[in-house]
Homo-oligomer: A and B are copies of this chain.
Amino acid sequence: MNALISPSRRLRRTPFSDGVEAAGVKAYTVYNRMLLPTVFRSVEEDYHHLKSAVQVWDVSVERQVELRGPDTARLMQMLTPRDLRGMMPGQCYYVPIVDETGGMLNDPVAVKLAEDRFWISIADTDLLLWVKGVAQGHRLDVLIDEPDVSPLAVQGPKSDELMARVFGDSVKDLRFFRFGWFEFQGRSHVIARSGYSKQGGFEIYVEGHDAGMPIWNALMEAGKDLDVYAGCPNLIERIEGGLLSYGNDMNMENTPHECGLGRFCNTETAIGCVGRDALLRVARDGPVRQIRAIEIHGDRVPGCDRLWPLMNGDAHVGHVSSAAWSPDYETNVAIGMVRMTHWEPGTELDVVTRDGVQAATVKEVFWT
């Protein structure tokens, strides 16, 4: 596929789009009806740079679903099998969201701003509509909307240094998945130590469209000697790191347990979760298929734009959903879903790509 993307208002621009365009973005995807850059110099050049320097990512597509009001805590627990009773303001939790059948509707990060106020920083589905629908049906007293908040990620080994220059040294004290409030030009923004890479970094929850480009420009200016550049979630790096992508690696068909997210579920104690009853058995017995790291041998694989069957002889035992050539590991790294009968590390399978059949091996862990 070598097609252009057609501009329209429906594919929303972000507060940082002017900066993204000035940096020479070459390709986009669409995520939550918003433009998400995918390539600046090249996927491989972006990859090496992410691992060695520092990048500023426009991840405005991680829209927020804000919940506030008296029934907020009750509604939050209805959404997820993760037990939220121990969560404190200042914490971020990765929370699988499930429907009444236990199928995953989204895999967002919940940001607890106060006892009665959350942001849910979403993956690519209209979680807002599910939350509003459930609240309407249960007549809960909660305000639910999408605020004018757009995350800007700073990722890479030099992230701490760059962030300290712009937001002060205390930003370095943030622990993983904790956030604080930091000033920029007289306005306060939530900053968390988090992000969709394994290279370390932060996400700035930029409040107010007009605050976007000043922060973008300040980071670019302050990081010149750190080789800062515009970047974006990198396909190769996120597969190496085993970072799942909702819509690619899992969707409504899958339980959190199939996605290897059982450690984020406390199904017994998550009283009130609408999917609790449906998940109790799989939480106890385990799933019959699960996400695995898959190494694909041989030539560089083509772009994975559809599921590739994983075969054991004539038996269809799973599929690959994301794949890329890894320059650092000199092999094809991939994410797949494999049936229990064939998910043991070392199992040899065949994968049917668009271009033909290649040998593959189920791995014990991802490439980190």
Chain A interfacial positions (CB closer than 8 Å to B): 1-11, 13, 21, 25-30, 33, 38-39, 99-100, 105, 124-127, 129-139, 245-248, 274, 303-307, 321-322
Tell me which residues across on chain B come within 8 A of A124, comparing CB atoms.
Answer: 10, 33
- Tell me whether B5 and A4 are in contact (CB under 8 A): yes
- A6 CB contact (under 8 Å) in B39, B306, B321: B39
Of B1, B10, B33, B125, the contact of A7 (CB 8 Å cutoff): B1
Give every chain B residue within 8 A of A130 (Cβ-Cβ): 126, 129-130, 132-133
Q: A154 CA to B133 CA in the complex, in Å?
A: 35
25 CB contacts below 8 A, A to B, read A3-B4, A3-B26, A4-B27, A4-B28, A5-B28, A6-B39, A7-B303, A7-B304, A8-B303, A8-B305, A8-B322, A9-B247, A9-B305, A10-B247, A10-B248, A29-B30, A33-B125, A125-B126, A126-B129, A127-B129, A130-B133, A132-B133, A135-B137, A136-B137, A137-B139
Q: A129-B126, A136-B274, A137-B134 are known contacts. Are A6 and B27 too (CB-CB below 8 A)?
A: yes
| Inter-subunit contact A6/B132 (CB<8 Å) | no
| Chain B residues with CB under 8 A of A246 | 10
Say whether chain A's binding surface is mostly helix, strand, loop, or mixed.
loop
Chain B residue contacts of A248, Cβ below 8 A? 8-10
Q: Which residue of B lies closest to A304 (CB)?
A: B9
Instruction: Give chain B residues whose Cβ lies under 8 Å from the Cβ of A6.
Output: 27-29, 38-39
Other than the given A4-B28, A9-B306, 19 more pairs (CB < 8 A) read A1-B7, A1-B21, A4-B4, A8-B303, A8-B304, A9-B322, A10-B29, A10-B124, A30-B30, A33-B125, A99-B136, A100-B132, A125-B126, A126-B126, A129-B129, A129-B130, A133-B135, A133-B137, A137-B138
User: Which residues of chain B have C-beta atoms less than 8 A from A99's C-beta?
Assistant: 132, 136
Assembly CA distance A29 to B131 (angstroms): 27
Tell me the smallest distance from the CB of A36 to a CB of chain B, in Å.
Answer: 9
CB distance from A232 to the nearest CB of B (A): 10
In the complex, what residues of B have CB within 8 A of residue A8's CB?
Answer: 29, 245, 247-248, 303-305, 322
* Distance, CA A274 to CA B138, complexed state (A): 13
Say how far A223's CB is from chain B's closest CB, in angstroms: 24
Contact A321 B134 (CB under 8 A): no
Residue from the set A10, A11, A27 with the largest chain B CB neighbour count within 10 Å:
A10
Using CB atoms, name the residue of chain B closest to A137. Answer: B137
